[in-house]
Structure 1
């Protein structure tokens, strides 16, 4: 029996970190594939038992870092069940058969994270990357590289018409490609383009951080704009009728669109709803930042038991919502009514209403199918729970505005940051805005994380370390000891609520991007939490470096070193000549001599306690 409204079918807690991609598999029937920041992919098949759940068929491993995206390569004579392609933060694409846990082969060539994949006819694979390019692959080879975007390529799709491809980028544009050439650029979104979905040979959808979804003709016209989300929109999936679709985003919601209208809003107990896919039977699979996959169905016989539905609602009601995230739209807490306001029915599905209950502010959502208001969380900051002070920068309020010193003696740069944002994306955008080398990404992001420790939204985060920072994140409604969930460098979201330490920090500071330490305190870098970066016992290579900045830092450290270990001016000049010769590829200087190598060795071995 089918109802109009979708309800929870099952929750699948198989991943240990954010679920970043989902794809419906060709085989077995009803199966789908998920990928996660826990570096794995997993193949799920429907249970034969009456609980309407899914069982993990096997786990896919092969990436050395977070797995960002997944797609199914269409079946062929060689692989009649199709193949699974996954992209990751290790810059690689791994291709699997559906029955093997190790990659059949690995595609290399991108210079940064592969964050989007799409497959076409004859085994063609299209990938997009933070390196600002898209690549076309066939028979394990890169056939062409599509260059033209000026920022990360976050979305790609192959259109049914042979030879046409689309790419969406953080540069706010969408490009149409044919035979490796850009045939058209679509402009209209006011922020990063995050997702693309094919409607037909002649139409497609796009979604963006600007909270809008657009419907485009391939010829270039935007024929409709859809508004309902209140925060970044991350993913889209189209139903088989090629008209209705679903969307997910940073406002904690899955939204179902029919005939151009948002007909149902389902909120989840997780901040970021990263990805979605439509299963062959019409059910919807959703991946979120709490590491849980949730499947929703319109078929009553497949819906979860009343007890499980109530448990899901209870978990949702216990979440905390920061009004700064914009998840509830613009709100004026001082004007909120009391609980009696819930006696009035809502006007549409998904409508939100805030009420005061003593010193608390609670959020409710109207459910048309249940004909009632459902609690979706407590609003922090609506009472005396708010502890941070806002800093105004360029007309906007932020939790922090850091001062970043990049060049010794050069001008400082401002880095605004809100606790609801992802420090990795903030760092990425800061470097891009100020035309700085991407080699500083880790240092700037880790500076943000270290200097916002102790400032969290909601209860203290659970135990467990983030693989980059050693920090943890809050899991709404969680009370167990599962590992914490980390942030993502390119999301435009609030993935991290960093750190579990008690040390507060002032809402302003100065970072040194070369070391990650605070220029305001030379000791700050030594006091950072132990993580995978330090101590470093093996060599680290860089594709590019700024020799003048490196020498400035070496001279600073040399001045702080004990007298007996300081390098003379003559040795510093020799070291500078050596550095210039190896950092400038066009330099005609001969390879370093053994004396120069010994000098470098001495410079790299100041005694313990020196700020290196």
Structure 2
């Protein structure tokens, strides 16, 4: 049987809840903690003793400090950085030389509740604003949008540039280069923690009191149960397979082989966070402001006397509950303590005279340990009272009257903030996240967000023991790139809706151009290897010159048969659903734009609306955008901060083998033309192009095409440290190393070696 964890020490110093703990890099064996006392602190092992000493206090946030991670060392910060996220919406970076931050990251609009560091200097943050952000070198590179509620947890997979986010919308999402690659559904409540097992497997924990083991292909491999309430945090043990969890049931639980093998009770209500030190010791942060360290190594366990003191503290701690709601079947006579428990960590409520005591079964000792006295009182249960109506959003009708929508809630609480003051209504549904409900209540009533914890705990206590709602499928789906988008089926004889000749193979058909007249590329000559390809001039300099990249002669795709585009656009416009058809006025304006008329915002809004057409009829719309996006105004419209990511993800959705071939080609050419103007040359566009290049490289065996991809990657990262780091995080070195081994033509291995030198 595995060695049991016992208390090593209690670390006291924080004045309020300890919300996050993580191991420090410098010094080795230390602990970093964050708290609702608005500080982060570094604790180092006390020499020749079992305890920890406060070594560094970090201040700078103006509200609760909720999360922490450690950035690895680099040239600028040889001891790395300590990153903290707060309810003040900001992320601060600290080093060990000053209690003040060295810089601040701003961008989130609500509480920052999770952070994760990557091995190439990237940082991922999750927030109540329903987004995650990717940062590099003090800049936000990408904003990950798609969740329908707070992003409670984030992490980074070790290879391939993949990131995971878990949300209060009950889903987990897998991201790469800003694009959601997969959504994992299965949890029945908010996802609170993530832990990576390997490049293809991970764990998640949630408010539904379960831990799930996932494969990145979307399969839930196992579901584990033992906790009796919300699970807030999860961390791997040093063997990389077993793990530890903490939660609202006052416990830390150790898991091995999919079984809970030990339950360690805490003398406090919420065990917010857990981490594991390099030596295998487990660290927890709790709502009583105390950090506790547990060890399975006898040499690092507290003395027998201190162990006994901890057990007495557990026995004397009060466990709040609603006594009136406890079923009689859950209360036992003292004689029940003579019957062995069924599993480690099993709880038993024993009624002795007028007192109710909570006991927990310790399988290693075959003994029931008293872990607290149950206190509190309540009347009837909400389970028998049904739904309650309460007003939702109010709006003014055209008649001037006020329209108030009544919504159904599981609970509507009367909350008195100050003694003797007015009561306020707090509506709550069991499917909601208590902290988000508390946040909304405080915001709607103009109350101090410092009351957040108090209100959330009130909600939890008042609804304790009531079953959570069933899992709900997310209803938000991108009409352009979501899994439910319409992709019409084409048969070999043509579309059944088009009674004329086949629009793709029939005579007189409109064919998107495959050449680039600006560079003389008629008849489809290759801009990299054809007669008009860019060939840097030779040099007699002894210094080695990179003749492979960057490609400095800009190549755009300009050739077009405008009459054919407009003819096909009009034809398809008559076939699509009337709800998304373009008016004759819009079609006329698009013709004017293609003939050089300056575009107005309304024109571009109308063009953008046509992107909702079925993918099989979309290629004339893409061709129009390919041509117009060479204009700076149009480029700015589609590549601006608000639209850029969604538009790029939309284009990338067609770079798959199952997409219509015309859409594949036109999407890639649109991406190319985006770079013609400054708005399209930002880091985010580079990231999307890098992602596309890496995706293509994974299945690329043709030598000439491999060379073009290498030149493309080199051009994108040349002189741009941020893009180089992103390329590494996307796993581009695997493709480069494969190309180094290609003997002929020699330019492939030469180009690959030059890229490797830049990226190493």
Q: TM-score, normalised by structure 1?
A: 0.67
Partner of 1:487: 453
Calculate the aligned-residue CA RMSD, in Å. Answer: 3.5
Q: Which residue of 137, 140, 161 maps to 1:139?
A: 137
* Alpha-carbon distance between aligned partners in 1 of 2:232 and 2:117, rounded to the nearest angstrom: 19
1:406-425 superposed Cα distances (whole Å, 9 cap, x missing partner) = 536624446516899x999x
Cα deviations by residue, 1:591-610 (Å, 9 ceiling, x for unpaired): xxxxxxxxxxxxxxxxxxxx
SS of match in other structure, 2:5: strand
Q: Residue 82 and residue 489 in structure 1: after superposition, are their counterparts in 2 closer, same or farther (change >3 A)?
A: farther
Structure 2 CA distance for partners of 1:264 and 1:144, relative to 1, 3 Å = same
The aligned residue for residue 251 of structure 2 is 253
Q: Secondary structure at the match of 1:340?
A: helix
Aligned match of 1:95: 93
Maintained 8 Å contact 1:271/1:494: no
| Counterpart Cα distance in 2 of 1:72 and 1:174 | 23
User: Any idea what SS the aligned residue of 1:57 has?
Assistant: strand
- Equivalent in the alignment of 2:614: none
1:442 to 1:45, Cα distance in 2 relative to 1, 3 A: same
Q: Does residue 179 of structure 1 match 2:173?
A: no
Task: Pick from 192, 195, 198 the counterpart of residue 196 of structure 2.
Answer: 198
Q: Which residue of 2 aligns with 1:361?
A: 356
Aligned length: 447
| 2:58 aligned residue (28, 37, 60) | 60
Name the CA shift for 1:439/1:237 in 2 (closer, same or farther; >3 Å): closer
Taking the aligned partners of 1:431 and 1:262, their CA distance within structure 2 comes to 27
**Residue 37 of structure 1 corresponds to which residue in structure 2?**
36
* Matched ranges for 1:424-439 at <5 A: none
Aligned to 1:463: none
2:214 is aligned to 216
CA 410–379 in structure 1, closer or farther in 2 if over 3 Å, else same: same
> Is the Cα contact below 8 Å between 1:428 and 1:438 reproduced in 2?
no
Distance 1:177 1:231 in 2: 29
Q: How does 1:52-451 map to 2 (within 5 A)?
A: 52-324=50-322, 332-333=327-328, 336-380=331-375, 386-392=377-383, 395=386, 403=390, 407=394, 410-413=404-407, 416=411, 441-444=441-444
Structure 2 gap ranges (5+): 395-401, 418-422, 464-760
Compare the two structures and name the one with the higher strand fraction. 1
Aligned to 1:468: 450
Cα 1:149/1:406, change in 2 over 3 Å: closer
Instruction: Name the CA distance, whole Å, in 2 between partners of 1:229 and 1:194.
Output: 14
Question: More helix by proportion, 1 or 2?
Answer: 2
Q: Give the whole-Å Cα distance in 1 for the aligned partners of 2:137 and 2:461.
A: 36
Query: Is contact 1:289-1:495 (8 Å) kept?
Result: no
SS of residue matched to 1:144: strand
Whole-Å Cα distance in 2 between the matches of residues 229 and 200 of structure 1? 25
Give the C-alpha shift of residue 348 in structure 1. Answer: 2.5
Change (3 A) 1:47 1:317: same
* Counterparts of 1:77 and 1:428, CA distance in 2: 50
- Whether the aligned pair in 1 keeps the contact of 2:391 and 2:405 (CA below 8 Å) is no
Structure 2 counterpart SS, 1:313: helix
Change beyond 3 A, Cα 1:392–1:335? closer
Instruction: Calculate the TM-score normalised by the size of structure 2.
Output: 0.54
Q: What per-residue deviation string (whole Å, max 9, x for no partner) do you get for residues 185-220 of structure 1? A: 011111111111111111100011111110011111
Contact 1:431–1:441 (8 Å) recurs in 2: no
Deviation at 1:320, TM superposition (A): 2.5
User: CA deviation digits over 1:396-440, x for unaligned, max 9?
Assistant: 8xxxx79457536624446516899x999x77979989xx99996
Instruction: Give the distance between the partners of 1:299 and 1:321, measured in 2 at CA.
Output: 30
Task: Give the conservation status (yes or no) of the 8 Å contact 1:431–1:437.
Answer: no
